């Protein structure tokens, strides 16, 4: 039986014209041979399986050809070409630097360089994986590489150019090989299939090309594997099954679930994928790639970036028209975040499921998705509330309403008096959580006294106490939207600082920076209603000025004073507004009272 030869060796290019995907480099080499402008050292670098060693062999054969063709190719008929094709040429030497990387191996090579060729003009030395040479071997090779004999040409090949010494790089002409495109790979695989009388679907070859990731040798190896599996009839389904690749159909169905907010169907689809043995990381990266392909399919100008077959391309265009651009932007961001956090997550499946839930809820956010910010890491309720939950909430609201109605006559009359000058009061029904939050806030609030009622009444002490303790219901939760009271209440710096910190804690996450600054700043009262905020520079001052209207409205409502006014000032050069350490505080106190130093020395005290 004839020995079987794999396709990567059987269909290895023998001429520059047959090299796939490296047109610019092969043209440069052919022109250099035609004009007799050959360098003494070349460096071929690039990914694996893109033709570095193949081009080096073709170049070595062509420069020694005795009767080259008009287009700069070897004739394959002269003695030199025949000897090369039969692998018995003494003018071409190949050295594997991965296994011959010592100084002695390089010295032996240098000794061979001195011998002139017997047939042809040049002796070519092809050193593959040259980055594996040791540093001492590189240094032993420097002088010969810089000034070799006239008949010697070195071709170095490597996949990791960054590991080669700069002194070696400076002595070589460097040729960077590119990854072979999917289109070129599919065409070459179709050519090999026609030569081998194998029927292959274009979609199947496209999947093989994507799996090869730009390497022709990998593509041909996968091709041979699929041929053995299918028996000579390559179909899309057989390639998907043999290579364990997720079908496009999963991602198309999953995207439809996202657009229709079908969270349950999306989770069931993920479960089906995981049951077939696919990894969650592979699934989420495939989903991100699918969303990226949908994005480039929306614009005809970027449609060339879509590397799929004709039939799949049509499906991408149809589904892309259903997907809003904000949805695609934010869903890709969520998938990318999931991919980055997947390795460190302990519950990897839950991480993927949460991502699918968040993506499925993007289309329910309305206009909020078009702001261009990062998606909020929040999950909305998926299912509607049950009847029991609604009954519990109704009972809680009813009990709260009954408590609100059972108030002393003084509070009722006060509310009636306010109602004559303001809008109707809001409904007393509120959520239990909100009521609890309101109660906590009111416990921290310093009691405020009316200007006209300062002091105690001798005739009616109980009535006076009730007026101070009872707070109308519409003043329990101060909000900027409520109408200010008719008379303004007095407040001090303690009240102001409390609501200042409270406002900082209510700021959303996107304003975290200014919230942190507010927590480190203590506002100072200039008079009864005006307070000042001192900041370090103009940039921070500009940020605070933008929040002045909102802060003033909030503080006016909380402090129940409509004349509250906020000013922002940049600190002077001699003014220090930063926080002081314990040592600095002690030094400042000692300047005012020197007895502290005597006390410290008398008792041997130390500051920590």
Hey, CA dihedral for 87, 90, 92, 97, is it positive or negative?
Answer: positive
Tell which of 370, 391, 415 closes a domain.
370
Q: How confident is the model at residue 338 (pLDDT cuts 50, 70, 90)?
A: very high
pLDDT at 354 over 90: yes
Contacts of 475 (CB under 8 A, 6+ apart): 560
Q: Is residue 585 part of a domain?
A: no
pLDDT value at 281 more than 60: yes
112: closest CA among 133, 136, 83, 91?
Answer: 91
pLDDT tens-digit readout, 398-443: 444 444 444 444 333 333 333 334 444 444 434 444 444 444 444 4
User: What is the pLDDT, as a whole number, of residue 365?
Assistant: 56
For residue 351, name the pLDDT band (cuts at 50, 70, 90).
very high
Asked if 34 and 138 sit in the same domain, the reply is: yes
pLDDT value at residue 350: 93
Q: What pLDDT sits at residue 43?
A: 92
220 and 362 part of one domain: no
| Residue 48 sits in the same domain as residue 161 | yes
- pLDDT category of residue 524 using cuts at 50, 70 and 90: confident
Tokens found for residue 183: 């289109």
Q: Nearest Cα to 531, choosing from 555, 509, 503, 511?
A: 555
Inter-CA distances, 328 with 81, 249, 324, 332, 367, Å = 57, 18, 7, 6, 14
> Domain boundary residue among 370, 404, 430?
370
Q: Residue 44: pLDDT band by 50, 70, 90 thresholds?
A: very high
Residue 580 pLDDT: 64
pLDDT for position 573: 63
Say yes or no to pLDDT of 257 above 70. Answer: yes
Q: Which domain holds residue 547?
A: 481-577
pLDDT at 80 > cutoff 70: yes
**pLDDT-based confidence at residue 461 (cuts at 50, 70, 90):** very low
Last residue within a domain, chosen from 192, 226, 243: 243
Q: What six digits make up the tokens of 131? A: 């980055």
Query: Residue 517: is its pLDDT beyond 80?
Result: yes
Residues 35 and 83 in one domain: yes
Q: Do residue 304 and residue 197 come from a single domain?
A: no
Closest CA to 226 of 206, 246, 249, 247: 206
Q: Tell me: the pLDDT tens digits for 443-460?
A: 444 444 444 444 444 444
For residue 232, being part of any structural domain is answered with yes
The answer to which of 336-350, 463-477, 541-555 has the lowest mean pLDDT is 463-477
Which of the pair, 402 or 24, is modelled with greater confidence? 24
**CATH code where residue 306 lies:** 1.20.272.10
224 domain residue, yes or no: yes
Kindly state whether residues 112 and 20 are assigned to the same domain: yes
Instruction: Please tell me the predicted confidence (pLDDT) of residue 255.
Output: 92
Give the per-residue pLDDT at 486. Answer: 54
Spatial CB neighbours of 18, under 8 Å, sequence gap ≥ 6: none
88 in the same domain as 32: yes
Q: Is 604 domain-assigned?
A: no
Largest CA distance in the chain: 131
Percent of the chain with pLDDT over 70: 77
Residue 83 included in any domain? yes
Mean pLDDT of 355-369: 74
Q: Is 473 inside any structural domain?
A: no
- Which span out of 181-195, 360-374, 394-408 was modeled with the highest average pLDDT? 181-195
pLDDT band, residue 378 (cuts 50/70/90): low
Question: pLDDT (tens digit, 9 = 90+) per residue, 50-70?
Answer: 888 899 999 988 988 888 887
Residues 290 and 342 occupy one common structural domain: yes
Are 56 and 128 in the same domain? yes
Number of domains forming the structure of the chain:
4
Q: Can you tell me the mean pLDDT for 111-126? A: 85
Helix (H, G, I), strand (E, B) or coil at 130: helix
444, 498 Cβ separation under 8 angstroms: yes
Which pLDDT belongs to residue 433?
42
Contacts of 314 (CB under 8 A, 6+ apart): none
Beta strands 199-200 and 233-234 are: parallel
Please indicate whether residue 503 or residue 488 has the higher confidence score (pLDDT): 503
Q: Please state, in angstroms and rounded to a whole number, the distance separating the CA atoms of residues 212 and 224.
A: 13
Quick: pLDDT tens for 201-214.
Answer: 888 888 888 888 88
- Lowest mean pLDDT: which of 85-89, 128-132, 141-145, 369-373? 369-373
* CATH value at residue 191: 1.10.8.60
Does residue 517 lie in a domain region?
A: yes
Same-domain status, 237 and 252: no
**pLDDT at 393 > cutoff 80:** no
Same domain, 62 and 91: yes
Looking up residue 166, the CATH number of its domain turns out to be 3.40.50.300
Query: Does some domain include residue 594?
Result: no
- The reported pLDDT for the residue numbered 85 is 85
Given a cut of 90, is residue 102 above it in pLDDT?
A: no
Between 399 and 511, name the one with better pLDDT.
Answer: 511
Q: How far apart are CA 321 and CA 501, in angstroms?
A: 48
Angle of helix 325-342 relative to helix 348-360, nearest 10 degrees, comes to 170
Give, as one character, the DSSP assignment of residue 178.
P
What's residue 401's pLDDT?
45
Q: Which residue in 579, 502, 490 sits closest to 534, CA to CA?
A: 579
pLDDT tens-digit series, residues 548-598: 888 888 888 888 888 888 998 888 765 555 566 677 778 888 888 888 888
Contact by Cβ (8 Å): 120, 88: no
Decide if pLDDT at 538 tops 50: yes
Are residues 199 and 278 both part of a single domain?
A: no
């Amino acid at each position: 039986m004839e020995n079987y030869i794999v396709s990567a060796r059987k269909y290895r290019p023998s001429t520059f014209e047959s090299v796939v995907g490296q047109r610019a480099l092969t043209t440069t080499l052919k022109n250099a041979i035609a004009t007799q402008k050959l360098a003494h050292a070349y460096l071929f670098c690039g990914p694996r399986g893109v033709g570095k060693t193949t081009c080096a062999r073709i170049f070595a054969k062509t420069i020694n050809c005795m009767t080259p063709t008009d287009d700069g190719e070897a004739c394959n008929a002269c003695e030199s070409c025949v000897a090369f094709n039969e692998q018995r040429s003494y003018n071409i030497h190949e050295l594997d630097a991965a296994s011959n990387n010592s100084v002695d191996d390089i010295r032996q090579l240098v000794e061979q360089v001195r011998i002139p060729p017997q047939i042809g003009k040049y002796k070519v030395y092809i050193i593959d994986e040259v980055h594996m040479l040791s540093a001492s071997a590189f240094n032993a090779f420097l002088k010969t590489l810089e000034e070799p004999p006239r008949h010697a040409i070195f071709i170095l090949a490597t996949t990791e150019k960054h590991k080669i010494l700069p002194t070696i790089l400076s002595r070589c002409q460097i040729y960077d090989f590119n990854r072979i495109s999917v289109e070129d790979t599919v065409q070459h695989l179709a050519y090999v299939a026609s030569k081998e009388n194998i029927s292959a679907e274009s979609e199947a070859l496209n999947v093989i090309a994507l799996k090869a990731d730009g390497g022709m040798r990998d593509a041909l190896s996968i091709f041979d594997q699929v041929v053995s599996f299918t028996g000579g009839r390559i179909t899309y389904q057989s390639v998907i099954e043999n290579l364990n690749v997720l079908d496009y159909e999963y991602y198309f169905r999953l995207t439809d679930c996202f657009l229709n907010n079908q969270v349950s169907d999306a989770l069931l689809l993920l479960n089906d994928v995981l049951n077939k043995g696919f990894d969650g990381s592979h699934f989420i990266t495939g989903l991100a790639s699918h969303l990226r392909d949908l994005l480039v399919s929306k614009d005809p100008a970027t449609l060339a970036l879509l590397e799929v077959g004709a039939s799949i391309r049509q499906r991408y265009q149809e589904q892309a028209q259903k997907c809003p651009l904000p949805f695609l932007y934010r869903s890709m961001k969520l998938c990318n975040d999931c991919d980055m956090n997947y390795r460190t997550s302990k519950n990897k499946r839950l991480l993927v499921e949460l991502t699918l839930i968040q993506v499925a809820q993007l289309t329910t956010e309305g206009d909020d998705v078009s702001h261009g910010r990062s998606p909020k890491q929040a999950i909305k309720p998926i299912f509607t509330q049950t009847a029991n939950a609604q009954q519990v909430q109704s009972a809680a609201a009813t009990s709260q309403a009954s408590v609100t109605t059972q108030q002393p006559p003084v509070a009722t009359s006060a509310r009636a008096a306010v109602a004559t000058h303001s809008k109707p009061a809001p409904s007393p029904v509120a959520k239990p959580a909100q009521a609890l939050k309101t109660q906590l806030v009111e416990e921290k609030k310093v009691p405020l006294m009316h200007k006209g009622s300062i002091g105690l009444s001798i005739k009616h002490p109980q009535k006076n106490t009730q007026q101070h303790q009872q707070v109308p219901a519409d003043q329990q939760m101060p909000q900027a939207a409520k109408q200010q009271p008719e008379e303004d209440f007095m407040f001090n710096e303690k009240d102001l600082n409390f609501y200042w910190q409270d406002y900082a804690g209510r700021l959303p996450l996107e304003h975290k920076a200014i919230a942190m600054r507010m927590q480190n700043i203590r506002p100072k009262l200039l008079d009864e209603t005006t307070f000042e905020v001192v900041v370090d520079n103009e940039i921070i001052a500009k940020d605070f000025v933008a929040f002045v209207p909102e802060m003033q409205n909030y503080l006016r409502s909380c402090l129940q004073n409509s004349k509250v006014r906020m000013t922002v000032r940049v600190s002077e050069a001699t003014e220090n507004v930063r926080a002081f350490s314990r040592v600095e505080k002690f030094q400042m106190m000692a300047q005012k009272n020197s007895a502290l130093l005597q006390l410290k020395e008398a008792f041997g005290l130390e500051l920590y």
